[in-house]
Amino acid sequence: MVNITLSVPEELHKKMKQMSEIKWSEIARRAIEERINDFEVMERIASKSKLTSKDVGEISKKIKRGMARRFYEDARNRQQHPDICADKR
């Protein structure tokens, strides 16, 4: 196995030192492996796609428009009916 050097902000390093029972190299190794696996899956999916960049752009615009409309309608409903649309968080 090879070693790598990882830079972290000083504050994060202080917090990590306070939790000395945690194997930080294992945490980093797993995070890197997960990210690589996710990337490889995305690459496999993208390599089979027949969508062009133009298609992706058009789909993206439609999704953004739909989400904007949905949020606008939700905000309008909350203004018109504050008694039944109370935030339940």
72 part of a folded domain: yes
Contact 60, 52 (CB under 8 A): no
> Does residue 5 have a pLDDT over 50?
yes
Range of the domain at 35: 21-50
Q: Using pLDDT thresholds of 50, 70 and 90, give the confidence band for residue 34.
A: very high
68 and 45 assigned to the same domain: no
45 and 79 assigned to the same domain: no
55 and 87 assigned to the same domain: yes
36 part of a folded domain: yes
26 and 43 assigned to the same domain: yes
Q: Using pLDDT thresholds of 50, 70 and 90, give the confidence band for residue 49.
A: confident
Total tally of structural domains belonging to the chain: 2
1 part of a folded domain: no
